[in-house]
């Protein structure tokens, strides 16, 4: 600065003090125990050093009138050191506590006098907007051949008027689905902010969270279900932006961090299984020794069946049902947008090959159960009872029982209903909240009654996977709960979305634990006494959105 001043030349100084980044090493005479105490000490030490620079500029009248100083942070605070105040999250997260950071602008000769000492709470932009803005303030023309990600927000820096960038996007690396400092929290991969709207989701557009930051700056209330058009628009924009970027190689680099494990007693051979994961867009068979027998790409998927002839019935997206033979060749398919559903909002989350060779297709949106023949012609059409219609959440798993009734998990309604062969409701079970308050989200922190599955047991009881209720229930025809496995009943394991459930011949219960994060198994077998017999966890092959599996236990 002194050399530039003496030569009467302009200068630009970019200073990145690392003092306040962990690990914290304050001066010996300011050393204190405790993470927060150390952080405060290094912050004070940094302030002392910066004061020398700032005072040099302030004490030079010419420099003071012709210098602009900007102080900003690269991200939110580290847990246990700083504080994000009312905002959710911390550094490494895409919540406001992780990405919203302060910007202080000082420049008596550049900032509008009437704006001195004021706070601009309306402008919203990012660090990449600073480059074109500083060039504008300095009067420097840049080549039009150089594209900038940022825009000129110099009126906001000068204190003249508020300026916002427009939609802004964020992406996290794929090998850091969790942040140790935040415990078992599973983090969204992507985020977009457009005005007061903020949407977060995973790479595949699943696990959507939507917030109105004007009304809910703490991002406490996920309102994605209430604003379908906003959700669809922002999700499409965000996923499209992500897919236009170069592939992040972090997934392969993160294999050691996302360790895979299959745990069972020494005398138990691991089961072979076929499972699918929407976030990885992967359908794969895993041998009993853990090796991968085969792997194929797949779209959104919520149901899967191994057929008696060795074929596989699965879905590739919400409206496309496919049957593969043993060589994984397609031998049958069904398009759920047919049979009167053209231009309708429709998703299929359940289907089943019936004993007579027909296939049951359950439609969310049109809210009906179809039985179709091999040509896709409708043989039976049954209307469903829906209290809270949703083309995404009318139903989850549905099974036709041995007696010819239909056992339907109505996710949005939080109810399991049994319909007779003509569509009359003959039994109903409201999934209880057990005195707890519902919480939004998709991970272990969420809670509700968004039931995923129900199967009829040989003893006449019904086994229920409560979805974000984090539990497995066995319920009698009189609706008495005679067995319950809850979120924290298994030592060292946390349950999140309990999706598919199954009672094995040996009396054990097998279920899928979805959205629980890479520290927890994706598939679990427990005894009636809730002892863990076998688990499967593989976050290299599958991800945090594994809802379905065919496990070969016999």
In the β-sheet with 282-286, what is the strand arrangement from edge to edge? Answer: 292-297, 282-286, 272-277, 548-552
Closest CA relative to residue 522, chosen from 179, 195, 273: 273
pLDDT for the residue numbered 266: 31
Per-residue DSSP letter, 186: B
Q: Is 4 helix (H, G, I), strand (E, B) or coil?
A: helix
Report which of 209, 201, 193, 205 is spatially closest to residue 172, judged by C-alpha positions.
Answer: 201
Collect all residues with Cβ–Cβ distance below 8 Å to 232 and sequence separation of at least 6: none
Query: In this predicted structure, what is the pLDDT of residue 18?
Result: 84
How does pLDDT run along the chain (554 residues), one tens digit per residue?
A: 999 988 989 999 999 888 888 888 888 888 888 888 999 999 999 999 999 999 999 999 999 999 999 999 888 888 888 888 999 988 889 999 999 998 999 999 999 999 999 999 999 999 999 999 999 999 998 887 888 889 999 999 999 999 998 899 999 887 666 665 565 567 889 999 999 999 999 888 888 999 999 999 999 999 998 999 999 999 999 999 998 887 766 544 333 333 333 333 333 346 889 999 988 999 999 887 778 889 999 999 999 999 988 899 999 999 999 999 988 899 999 999 999 999 999 999 999 999 999 999 999 999 999 999 999 999 999 999 999 999 999 999 999 999 999 999 999 999 999 999 999 999 999 999 999 999 988 889 999 999 999 999 999 999 999 999 999 999 999 999 999 999 999 999 999 999 999 998 888 999 999 999 999 999 999 999 999 988 999 998 999 999 998 887 65
> What is the DSSP code string of 434-479?
TTPPPB-SSSTT-B-----EEEE-TTS-EEEE-BTT--EEEE-TT-
Cα of 173 vs its chain's centroid, Å? 13
Asked if omega into 23 is within 30° of 0 (cis), the reply is: yes
d(CA 210, CA 229): 11
Map out the domains of the chain as residue ranges: 166-257
Q: Could you tell me which residues come within 8 angstroms of residue 426 by beta carbon, excluding any fewer than 6 positions away?
A: 405, 418, 419, 420
In words, the CATH class of domain 166-257 is: alpha beta
CA dihedral 128, 133, 135, 136 (to 10 degrees): 160
- Look up residue 28 and give its DSSP letter: G
Please write down the long-range contacts of 250-253, taking CB distance under 8 Å and 24 or more positions apart.
250/173, 250/174, 250/175, 250/176, 251/174, 251/175, 253/175
The arrangement of strands across the sheet holding 209-212 comes to: 168-171, 190-194, 197-201, 209-212
Please state, in angstroms and as integers, the Cα–Cα distance from residue 428 to each residue in 45, 434, 470, 549, following that order: 66, 18, 20, 26
Are 181 and 79 within 8 A, CB to CB? yes
What's residue 554's pLDDT? Answer: 52
What distance in Å separates the CA atoms of residue 145 and residue 93, rounded to the nearest whole number?
Answer: 34
Task: Classify the C-alpha dihedral 409-415-421-427 as positive or negative.
Answer: positive
Written as one string, the DSSP assignment of 498-533 is EEEEEE-TTS-EEEEEESS-TTS-SEEEE-TT--EE
Max CA pair span of the chain: 94
Phi, psi of 293 (to 5 degrees): -75, -45
Strands 272-277 and 548-552: antiparallel
SS (H, E, C) 85-134: CCCCCCCCCCCHHHHCCCEEEECCCCCCHHHCCCCCCCCECCHHHHHHHH
Residue 170: its pLDDT value, please?
95
Burial class (CB in 10 A: 0-12, 13-18, 19+), 226: exposed
| Both tokens assigned to 528 | 């009636």
Contact by Cβ (8 Å): 279, 273: no
Please give the Cα distance from 90 to 77 (Å, whole number).
5
């Amino acid at each position: 600065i002194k050399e530039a001043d003496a030569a009467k030349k302009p200068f630009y100084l970019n200073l990145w003090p690392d003092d306040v980044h962990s690990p914290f090493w304050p001066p010996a005479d300011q050393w204190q125990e405790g993470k927060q105490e150390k952080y405060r000490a290094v912050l004070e030490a940094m302030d002392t050093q910066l004061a020398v620079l700032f005072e040099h500029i302030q004490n030079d009248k010419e420099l003071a009138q012709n210098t602009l100083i900007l102080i900003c942070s690269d991200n939110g605070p580290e847990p246990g050191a700083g504080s994000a105040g009312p905002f959710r999250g911390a550094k490494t997260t895409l919540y406001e506590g992780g990405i919203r950071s302060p910007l202080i602008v000082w420049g008596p000769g550049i900032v509008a006098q009437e704006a001195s000492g004021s706070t601009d709470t309306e402008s919203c932009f990012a660090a990449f907007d600073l480059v074109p803005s500083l060039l504008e303030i300095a009067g420097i023309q840049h080549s039009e051949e150089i594209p900038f990600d940022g825009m000129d927000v110099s009126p906001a820096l000068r204190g003249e008027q508020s300026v916002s960038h427009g939609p802004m996007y964020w992406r996290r690396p794929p090998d850091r689905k969790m942040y140790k400092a935040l415990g078992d929290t599973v983090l969204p991969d992507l985020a977009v902010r457009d005005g007061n709207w903020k949407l977060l989701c995973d790479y595949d557009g699943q696990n959507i969270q939507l917030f109105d930051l004007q009304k809910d700056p703490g991002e406490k209330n996920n309102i994605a279900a209430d604003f379908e058009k906003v959700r669809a628009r922002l999700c499409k924009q965000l996923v499209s932006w992500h897919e236009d970027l170069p592939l992040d190689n972090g997934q392969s680099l993160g294999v050691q961090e996302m360790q895979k494990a299959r745990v069972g007693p020494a005398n138990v051979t691991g089961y072979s299984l076929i499972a699918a994961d929407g976030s990885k867009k992967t359908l794969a068979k895993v041998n009993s020794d853990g090796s991968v027998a085969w792997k194929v790409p797949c779209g959104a998927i919520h149901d899967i069946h191994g057929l008696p002839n060795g074929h596989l019935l699965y879905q590739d997206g919400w409206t496309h049902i496919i049957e593969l033979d043993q060589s994984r060749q397609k031998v049958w398919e069904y398009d759920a947008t047919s049979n009167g559903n053209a231009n309708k909002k429709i998703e299929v989350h359940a289907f089943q090959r019936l004993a007579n060779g027909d296939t049951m297709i359950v439609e969310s949106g049109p809210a009906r159960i179809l039985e179709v023949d091999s040509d896709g012609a409708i043989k039976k059409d049954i209307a469903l009872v829906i209290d809270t219609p949703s083309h995404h959440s009318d139903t989850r798993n549905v099974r036709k029982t041995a007696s010819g009734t239909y056992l339907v998990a109505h996710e949005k309604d939080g109810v399991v209903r049994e319909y007779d062969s003509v569509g009359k409701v003959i039994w109903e079970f409201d999934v209880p909240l057990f005195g707890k308050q519902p919480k939004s989200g998709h991970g272990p922190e969420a809670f509700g009654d968004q039931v995923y599955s129900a199967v009829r047991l040989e003893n006449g009881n019904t086994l229920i996977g409560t979805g974000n209720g984090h539990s497995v229930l066995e319920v009698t025809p009189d609706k008495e709960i005679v067995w319950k496995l809850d979120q924290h009943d298994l030592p060292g394991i946390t349950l999140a979305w309990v999706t598919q459930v199954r009672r094995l011949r040996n009396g054990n219960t097998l279920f899928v634990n979805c959205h629980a994060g890479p520290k927890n198994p994706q598939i679990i077998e427990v005894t009636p006494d809730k002892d863990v017999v076998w688990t499967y966890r593989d976050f290299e092959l599958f991800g945090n959105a594994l809802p379905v599996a065919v496990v070969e236990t016999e």
